[in-house]
Structure formats: structure tokens, C-alpha cells
């Protein structure tokens, strides 16, 4: 595999211009057929056979130009998740679209899960195989999907097409990294290897993936799995420097994530002929964004208030100005509070700032909020005491709370209630 990597890197920067260069590239692909993604191996073999039929050479060696042309078309179909049809010269977008394959699977009763997807599959394909395929044909990264102008997938790059199927999501960071490396001068500067294209923004869709088609399959991915997969992709993009702090503000990612995490969406499942309500899980993606820029918890993207305050007050009122408790949820409240305690323990997760505590009790109930606050305080303080081996952390937190004018007396009382003898020890000190 390393041999193919080295050869590919040195030979595919430009397209072959001579028959000798084309033959060398063809021989390389055939020789290392087993090192490409599984969905491409048969296509390479078939292209070799097809090209051999057209040659007049008695040894029937494949014609390099025809071979490379057919293999390229097969690779392109694969990276767009389409069926590979090497021998079908009349293959059209209508006959080979994801939308049509999904509609076919809906009409069938006993359909194989994910039978509509014919591209990268994290269950069987590796990043090494995928990288080698792209380095052999780097122009594939800059190809654009050609479908009906009304299709949401028309004119998109392969990296955007990976959002369609949960099995292809894990390959997004690899294609983004290779897009930046191999697409210099081909992608627009601000497109970041295809990640941030106008109207085809991959980062935006990792927050709310409205092109994911798993719902059309019997083996439907749960919302928790999608959250986990998307968060893993975002973490890798962050590690590679391809997900930036400015993205959070430019695309208003936190606001959008909060909105979709609470919005109960009705999804129509044609196979079962019924509607279902399902919450859009977002905890892990939310954690990635906050870890990227914890200050969001303090000032909420320049809004001059804590994120918890913004969530409780602005989401409660909504754009119509009318208050509705259905616009906010206990899991999201708990998530914001837990992250606040993790990053800003001396602020007690901002739950006692201003009137946050009173408002949260009014929405979710006093007993429920008190239980959440006590449980998170206990677990957070225990973790910090065990990590720092310091038994005075609670006492230090009380001192910080008393001296912080933003923290209400409810917060100070809650801390003292955990250890009533603390007042005596503080007076003695």
C-alpha cells in the first residue's frame, strides 16, 4: 500500500499526457486493485476486460486511455454513492440517482438495509483505501453532481454527498483534508476543501443534517447515533484545523443546535404509513462546540448574556413574543448547566445568575431543578477533589459565590446546605 501511495502522489498531480504515462497509471491501478475500496475493485477488473476487447493487439492488453476513462467514471459514481454501470453508455442522472434508488427501496417490502447507497461504507472501507483512490484521481474531489435543478443534491461536491448516508459520514474529514491539499487553485479560497460551499455547507449540515436519508431504510439510525457520528466528524475537523471558532458565530451553530434539539419534528415514514415524533439529539455535538469555544457559555455569541439566560428567556418567549414552556426542554437545560459547571465552576454553571434559578424552577418545577443542581454539584465537586486532591474546593467555591454579585443568595444557600458546618470553619479562618 505504501508503494501505491508513493507512486500515486508522484504521478497523479496532472493527467497523463502520453501513452506511456497512461499505461503506467493503468498498470499501477490493476496491480493494486485489492488496495482500493471494495466497491471499486470489480469496476477495475471490468474496465480492464472492456478495454481489452477494443484493442487489435494479439496479446489483448487493455487500451490505457479507455481503461482510465471507464475507471474514472466508476470512481466518480462511487464517490457520489451511485450504482457503478461501466457498460451502460446511456446511463443518465434519472436512472442513477440517490432519490430514485430510495423511492425503489420504499416500494419494495423486503429491501436490504442501505440498498440505495452505493458509495463509501465505514463498515467495509478504510481511510487508507479511500485516500489512495482519491490520490489516483484527485479531480474527483472537484466534480459536481448533475441531477435535476430542483434536487437538493444538484451541483454538490462528493464531500457534501457523504451527508446523505450515516455509513459515509466518517469519511468527511479525510475528503476535506485532501480537498485542501489537492484542490489548491481549484476550490474557491473560502470553500475550505469543499466544506463551506455556499448553499452546500457541510459544517452547517453536521449540526442539522436535512439531507440524511437513513429514515428511508428499515435499519433506521437512531438520533443518538447520528449525534455521535456527527460529533466525531466535528471533533476530527477541529483537530485538523478545519472547524474554526469563527464558524460558530458565522453560521450561528449554537443557536441552531439549541433550536433543533428542542424541536419535535414529525417525520413521515411511507413504509409504515404513520407519523412519528422524535427529539433531535444534540448533546455530543453541543459539547464539541462548547469545548471549541467555552466563552459561548458566558456571553452567548456577543448577546451580552449567559447562554443559559438566553436559552431560558429568549427561547421561552419565542419570535412571537408569547411565552410557551414547550419551547424549552429539561434535557437541554441540564446539558447547558452541566457544561457550565465543567468550564466555569466558580459561576456555578450560571444557574444562579440573575433570575435563572427562579425562571428554571417556574418552567421545570422546583424539585426537579433542585435535584439536577444538587446532583451536578456533587459529581463536579467530587471529580475536582479527586483530581486536585484538595478538600477545600467546596469552601473556595462558597467564597467565590459570596464575592460574586451576579450569583443570587439561592446559590450561596445551596452551597451552605451541602455542608452546614462550613460557616463555622469560615468564621474560624
Calculate what percentage of the chain has a pLDDT beyond 70. Answer: 77
pLDDT digits (tens, 9 = 90+) for 166-203: 999 999 999 999 999 988 878 877 889 999 998 899 99
Is the residue at 293 inside a domain?
A: no
How does DSSP classify residue 267?
Answer: E
For 128-160, write each residue's pLDDT tens digit.
999 999 999 999 999 998 877 777 788 899 999
Nearest to 4 by CA among 47, 35, 26, 49: 35
Q: Nearest CA to 141 among 177, 170, 98?
A: 177
What is the domain extent for residue 340?
325-429
Domain annotation covers residue 243: no
pTM: predicted TM-score of the whole model, two decimal places? 0.85
Q: What is the pLDDT of residue 389?
A: 64
Longest Cα separation, the chain: 102
User: Above 80 in pLDDT, residue 15?
Assistant: no
Whether residue 332 has pLDDT greater than 80? yes
Which of residues 256 and 113 earns the better pLDDT score?
A: 256
343 domain-assigned:
yes
pLDDT tens track for 42-54:
999 998 887 766 5
State the Cα–Cα distance between residues 299 and 362, nearest whole angstrom: 24
The alpha helices in 112-252, defined as continuous H runs, are 127-136, 158-161, 172-182, 202-207, 223-239, 245-250
pLDDT over 50 at 218, yes or no: no
Least confident window among 93-102, 132-141, 354-363: 93-102
What are the angstrom distances between the C-alpha of 325 and each of 65, 90, 322?
A: 65, 56, 10
Report residue 178 CA to chain centroid gap.
Answer: 17
Kindly state whether residue 334 falls inside one of the protein's structural domains. yes
Which of the four pLDDT bands, split at 50, 70 and 90, describes residue 268? very low
Looking at the domain assignment, is residue 206 inside a domain?
no
| Better-scored residue on pLDDT, 63 or 149 | 63
Q: Is the pLDDT of residue 40 over 90?
A: yes
In a domain, 350, yes or no: yes
Model confidence at 276, in pLDDT bands (50, 70, 90)?
A: very low
Specify the number of domains making up the chain: 1
- The answer to whether position 231 is within a domain reads no
Phi and psi angles of residue 203, each rounded to the nearest 5 degrees, phi first: -60, -45
In this structure, are residues 166 and 229 in contact, taking their beta carbons and an 8 Å threshold? yes
The kind and range of the H/E element at 345 are: none
Backbone angles phi and psi of 264, in degrees to 5: -85, 110
The stretch 310-331 carries a mean pLDDT of 82
- What nine digits make up the cell of 320? 412571537
287 belongs to a structural domain: no
Q: What mean pLDDT is predicted for residues 105-109?
A: 56
Over range 206-225, report the average pLDDT: 73
Lowest mean pLDDT among 199-203, 279-283, 332-336, 405-409: 279-283
Amino acid at each position: 500500500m505504501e508503494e501505491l501511495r508513493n507512486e500515486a502522489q508522484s504521478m497523479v498531480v496532472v493527467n497523463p499526457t502520453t501513452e506511456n504515462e497512461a499505461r503506467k497509471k493503468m498498470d499501477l491501478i490493476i496491480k493494486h486493485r485489492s488496495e482500493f475500496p471494495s466497491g471499486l475493485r470489480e469496476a477495475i477488473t471490468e474496465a480492464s476486460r472492456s478495454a481489452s476487447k477494443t484493442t487489435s493487439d494479439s496479446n489483448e492488453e487493455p487500451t490505457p486511455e479507455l481503461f482510465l476513462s471507464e475507471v474514472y467514471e466508476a470512481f466518480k459514481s462511487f464517490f457520489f454513492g451511485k450504482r457503478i454501470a461501466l457498460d451502460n453508455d446511456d446511463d443518465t442522472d434519472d436512472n442513477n440517482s440517490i432519490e430514485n434508488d430510495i423511492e425503489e427501496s420504499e416500494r419494495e417490502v423486503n429491501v436490504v438495509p442501505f440498498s440505495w447507497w452505493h458509495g463509501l461504507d465505514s463498515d467495509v472501507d478504510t481511510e487508507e483505501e479511500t485516500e489512495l483512490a482519491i490520490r489516483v484521481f484527485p479531480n474527483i474531489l472537484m466534480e459536481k453532481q448533475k441531477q435535476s435543478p430542483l434536487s437538493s443534491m444538484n451541483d454538490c461536491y462528493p464531500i457534501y454527498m457523504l451527508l446523505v448516508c450515516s455509513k459515509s459520514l466518517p469519511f468527511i474529514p479525510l475528503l476535506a483534508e485532501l480537498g485542501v491539499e489537492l484542490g489548491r487553485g481549484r476550490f474557491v479560497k473560502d470553500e475550505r476543501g469543499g466544506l463551506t460551499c455556499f448553499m452546500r455547507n457541510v459544517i452547517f449540515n453536521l449540526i442539522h443534517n436535512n439531507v440524511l436519508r437513513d429514515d428511508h431504510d428499515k435499519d433506521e439510525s437512531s438520533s443518538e447515533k447520528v449525534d455521535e457520528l456527527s460529533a466525531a466528524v466535528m471533533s476530527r475537523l477541529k483537530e485538523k484545523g478545519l472547524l474554526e471558532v469563527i464558524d460558530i458565530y458565522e453560521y450561528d451553530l449554537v443557536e441552531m443546535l439549541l433550536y433543533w434539539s428542542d424541536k419535535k419534528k414529525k417525520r413521515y415514514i411511507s413504509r409504515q404509513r404513520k407519523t412519528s415524533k422524535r427529539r433531535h439529539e444534540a448533546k455530543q455535538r453541543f459539547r464539541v462546540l462548547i469545548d471549541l469555544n467555552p466563552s459561548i457559555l458566558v456571553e452567548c455569541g456577543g448577546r451580552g448574556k449567559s447562554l443559559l439566560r438566553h436559552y431560558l428567556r429568549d427561547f421561552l418567549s419565542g419570535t412571537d413574543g408569547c411565552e410557551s414552556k414547550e419551547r424549552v426542554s429539561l434535557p437541554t437545560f441540564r446539558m447547558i448547566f452541566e457544561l457550565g459547571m465543567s468550564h466555569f465552576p466558580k459561576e456555578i454553571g450560571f444557574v444562579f445568575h440573575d433570575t435563572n434559578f427562579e425562571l428554571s424552577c417556574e418552567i421545570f418545577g422546583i424539585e426537579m431543578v433542585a435535584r439536577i443542581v444538587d446532583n451536578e454539584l456533587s459529581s463536579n465537586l467530587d471529580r475536582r477533589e479527586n483530581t486536585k486532591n484538595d478538600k477545600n474546593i467546596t469552601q473556595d467555591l462558597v467564597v467565590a459565590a459570596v464575592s460574586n454579585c451576579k450569583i443570587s443568595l439561592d446559590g450561596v444557600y445551596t452551597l451552605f446546605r451541602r455542608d452546614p458546618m462550613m460557616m463555622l470553619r469560615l468564621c474560624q479562618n
